[in-house]
Amino acid sequence: MQRVTHMFNAFLQVVSKELKGAFRHPSDILNPIWFFVIVVTLFPLAIGSDPALLKRIAPGIIWVAALLAALLSFERLFKDDFIDGTLEQLMLTPFPLAWLVCAKVFAHWLLTGLPVLLVSPLLALFLALDTETYTALFLTLLIGTPILSLLGAIGVALTVGLRKGGILLSLIMLPLSIPILIFSTMAIDAAAYGQSYLGLLALLAAMLVAAITLAPFAIAASLRVSVS
């Protein structure tokens, strides 16, 4: 029992350390969000502002922009900890590395996934989404962005020791995130046509469960490769 409380304490401590570190450099959190909003803004400017057209392509735009913004934010997930030796210290703790990695990914989601959710109403206004479609968008982002964080963490963990890991990270991670993109945009499309999208949400949720159970081990194994 005591061990369980210790483990939860460790989890909370890692999360709070991450949050404190991030709030000391607020631009690290804000920049990817700005990027997300700017990319979404570019599309109406490039394609035209016809509301019917925007409504049709909105799910794709928002999800691709969310993916790109996520890519930008991944670097800081392990990079600083890798450079200053915190990762090695995490490996030396008596707690399983996979568990601590969960805490780090959760903190990362709080700092990058959650803000995307918070600015999403603004984008709904920009892209002329109705309430039903927006609800679907919000739900897919809510379920989908944690999967992105977990997948991205695998990529970062594999590339953190490399000098030019950034582009490699996108090469590794983008193909793996295709199912999330497909199911999310399908769900939003279904909502836009007034159909039920619960099944698609359930599939996304199933992927989230699979990612939460499997990804931490892959991340931990990758970190051990990168740190050794």
Q: Which residues bind another protein (CB under 8 A)?
A: 154, 158-159, 161-162, 164-165, 168, 171-172, 174-176, 178-179, 182-183, 186, 207, 210, 214, 218, 221-222, 225-226, 228
Q: Shortest distance, CB of residue 165 to another protein, whole angstroms? A: 8
Q: Shortest distance, CB of residue 160 to another protein, whole angstroms? A: 11
**Terminal alpha carbon distance of the chain:** 33
Segment holding 11, helix H or strand E: helix 2-24
Cα distance between residue 183 and residue 196, in whole Å: 13
Q: Shortest distance, CB of residue 178 to another protein, whole angstroms? A: 6
Residue (63 or 183) nearer to another protein, CB: 183
Residue (102 or 111) nearer to another protein, CB: 102
The answer to whether the beta carbons of residues 209 and 143 sit under 8 Å apart is no
Residue 3 CA: distances (Å) to CA of 6, 7, 10, 95, 96: 5, 6, 10, 9, 12
128 CB burial (10 A radius; 0-12, 13-18, 19+): middle
Q: Shortest distance, CB of residue 149 to another protein, whole angstroms? A: 15
Q: Shortest distance, CB of residue 49 to another protein, whole angstroms? A: 27
Torsion of CA 205, 208, 210, 215, to 10 degrees: 180
Residue (114 or 176) nearer to another protein, CB: 176
